[in-house]
Amino acid sequence: MASFAQGGAAMTPDMFINIGFYEAAFLLALGFFGGTLSGFIGSGGAFVLTPGMMSIGTPGPVAVASNMCHKFPKAMIGAWRRWRLKQLDPKLALLMAVSAIVGVQVGIQVQKYILELLGPTGTNLYVSFAFLVVLPIVAAMCLRDVFKAKKLGIDDTEPQFAKKLEEKFRLSPMIEFKIAGRKQSAWLTIPLGFGTGFLAATIAVGGFIGVPAMIYVIGAPSTVASATELGIAFVMGSTGTFSWIYLLGAVDLRLTTLILATSLIGVQIGAVGTTYTKPYVIKLAMAVVMILVTLSRACAVPGYLADLGWISLDPALRAVLDSLVFPIMVIALLSVAPIVMYPMFKVRRTLRKMGVLEQATEAAEHKQSGLIKRMIFFGTLTGINYYLLFRDPAAWPKFITSIPHSDPLTAVLLSLGVIFLAIYWSVVHGSFAHAFLDFIKITALKSEVYELLKTEGYEGLQKLGSVPAGSVSAR
């Protein structure tokens, strides 16, 4: 077991925040809006979730680790949903996931080194600074494509760089990605996957690299890239969670489960929402939220620098900046709903007025008669789970921080146990979420209707008004 040697920095119970009513309410809201955005754009939503947890006092490593633990089971459910919509490219997901696993392990070691060198404040600064560098760049690229697509009246822009790579970079093996509609060198996936994994482990953000990389380098459509990233997130999230637990004891299951409770509803709404919008709207959602989160983290950075003694900061100015961190994060969360849900409600209202809503959307998977029973069963099970988890506020911090100090075999088994526990919670929450969404009849557009909307816009939906009952083909 020499390869599982431990030692060095680890979290201590006092680093875990107290979770009262207001913290729990915020985390539930954070999970819903972050999950909705996650299902819509294909990223794990960490650029909202990680800063959101930090805005209520969670240390950077705990926020990153807890988000990764929440992300992999949520990504598993989101990936399954998007695969059923034929948006996920399994071959591309597998190839990128292989090198992403390596990137995750390197990234965790970087976080561990910073924690040993500068303590929790240093890791908070590192996470925040990384957001300030990555988010504006990706947001600018997304906005450029949005404006170009709207100007040209098209559903999305075609990345010319990816097209040139496909023509000129022919290093074997060449892989055909059927769902993405591209044939690229497998060697392109190695650095892209590694970068995705590295950022996922250091700042819990992999989709920022993964989704744009698949769009601009591989040439995948936005919808396919966002779906495929969920598959990658599941693989690197599960392996990364193990390392965060085993090496640092940094996963706070209390945070993870509260976010999971609502994010598993949000992620399915977001995934369904992709069938009601043109692909460039996905990029618009990414850009708006990224800009707001950048502002929130920018307000927090001066305080971290002052705490490290690297700058002097007027107390009054710091108080103002600190007071802005949380409200801007709230605005970022609230901005998700209109971007994702307005197009969905607009299309569904149009189809309902024409009397073809049921014919144009996928049928619910469960019969209405059994949905209430499912919601009651899984809701009761959730209540019992939360009672056991929260009845002793100090129990989880003490348990998780003891794992890195256990003997290697015990630490491995306990780390795997936490992973299975996260999967169990996701199954319970996911089953409730699925029944709830079927109950309120939030389902995806059928593929032929989505194609009509994508190519002809809302005006094209008017063609469905003359379609006989039971059919949605306007061709």
Q: What is the pLDDT of residues 406-444, one digit of tens each?
A: 999 999 999 999 999 999 998 898 888 888 888 877 777
- Average pLDDT of 60-85? 82
Distance of CA 268 to the CA centre of its chain: 12
What integer is the mean pLDDT of 123-142? 86
177 three-state secondary structure: strand
CB atoms within 10 A of CB 394: 11
Of 268, 459, 447, which Cα lies nearest the Cα of 350? 459
Percent of the residues in the chain that have a pLDDT greater than 90, as a whole number: 25
Sole residue written with tokens 């816009």: 457
Query: What kind and span of H or E run contains 186?
Result: none
pLDDT of residue 207: 64
Q: Which residue has the higher pLDDT, 463 or 250?
A: 250
Q: Residue 378: which domain range?
A: 15-89+118-158+221-466
From first CA to last CA, the distance across the chain in angstroms is 63
User: What is the spatial distance between Cα 380 and Cα 374, in angstroms, rounded to a whole number?
Assistant: 10
**Strand, helix or coil for residue 173:** coil
Is residue 202 in some structural domain?
no
Instruction: Give the count of alpha carbons within 13 A of 333, CB side only.
Output: 26
Residue 5 — pLDDT band, cuts 50, 70, 90? Answer: very low
Res 158: pLDDT: 63
Instruction: Calculate the CA dihedral of residues 10, 16, 333, 140 and round it to 10 degrees.
Output: -20
* pLDDT level of residue 173 (50, 70, 90 thresholds): confident
Q: What is the pLDDT of residue 411?
A: 94
% of the chain with per-residue pLDDT over 70: 89
In a domain, 177, yes or no: no
- 111 belongs to a structural domain: no
- Assess if residue 276 is contained within a domain: yes
Distance CA 250, CA 113 (A): 14
CB atoms within 10 A of CB 255: 29
What's the mean per-residue pLDDT of the chain? 83
Q: DSSP label at 445? A: B
Quick one: pLDDT at residue 366? Answer: 62
Q: What angle do CA 186, 80, 461 make, to 5 degrees?
A: 100
Mean pLDDT of 21-35: 90
Contact 239, 101 (CB under 8 A): yes
At 12 the three-state DSSP class reads coil
The β-bridge partners of 184 are 175
Residue keyed to tokens 């950077």: 60
pLDDT at residue 465 tops 80: no
Are 261 and 429 contacting, i.e. CB atoms less than 8 angstroms apart?
yes
pLDDT in tens, 336-375: 778 777 888 888 888 888 888 777 887 766 666 678 888 9
User: Is a pLDDT exceeding 60 seen at residue 237?
Assistant: yes
Tokens of 333: 């969360």
Dist CA 327 CA 321 (whole Å): 11
pTM, rounded to two decimals: 0.74
CB count in 10 Å sphere of residue 127: 26
Q: Quick one: tokens of 281? A: 């709207």
Instruction: State the Cα–Cα distance between residues 340 and 277, nearest whole angstrom.
Output: 8
Contact 242, 69 (CB under 8 A): no
Element at 377 (helix H, strand E): helix 368-390
Spatial contact of 402 and 249, defined as CB atoms under 8 Å apart: yes
Tokens of 378: 């899984």
Tokens of 23: 């913290």
Is residue 228 in some structural domain? yes
Q: What is the mean pLDDT of residues 44-68?
A: 84
Residue 474 in this model has a pLDDT that exceeds 60: no
Average pLDDT over residues 311-337: 88
Q: pLDDT tens digits, residue range 247-295?
A: 899 999 999 999 989 988 887 788 788 788 777 777 788 788 889 889 9
pLDDT of residue 251: 94
Going by the DSSP 8-state scheme, the letter that residue 245 receives in this structure is I
Total domains present in the chain: 1
Do the beta carbons of residue 200 and residue 240 sit within 8 Å? yes
CA angle (338, 341, 345) in 5-degree steps:
120
Contact indicator for 22, 396 with CB cutoff of 8 Å? no
Instruction: Give domain status of residue 172, yes or no.
Output: no
Q: Is residue 261 part of a domain?
A: yes
Q: With 50 as the cut, is the pLDDT of residue 175 above it?
A: yes
Q: Which two tokens stand for residue 223?
A: 């919808």
Quick check: helix, strand or coil at residue 361?
A: strand
Q: 174-177 and 182-185 as β-strands: parallel, antiparallel, unpaired? A: antiparallel
Q: What is the pLDDT of residue 43?
A: 61
389 and 396 Cβ atoms separated by less than 8 Å: yes
Residue 19 has pLDDT above 90, yes or no: yes
Q: Is 363 exposed, middle or buried (0-12, 13-18, 19+ CB in 10 A)?
A: exposed
* Upstream peptide bond of 173 is cis (omega within 30 degrees of 0): yes
Token code pair at residue 222: 């936005």
243-252 pLDDT per residue, tens: 899 989 999 9
* Residue 317 falls inside a structural domain: yes
**Helical pair 368-390 and 408-439, crossing angle rounded to 10 deg:** 150
Asked if pLDDT for residue 121 goes beyond 80, the answer is yes
pLDDT at 317: 95
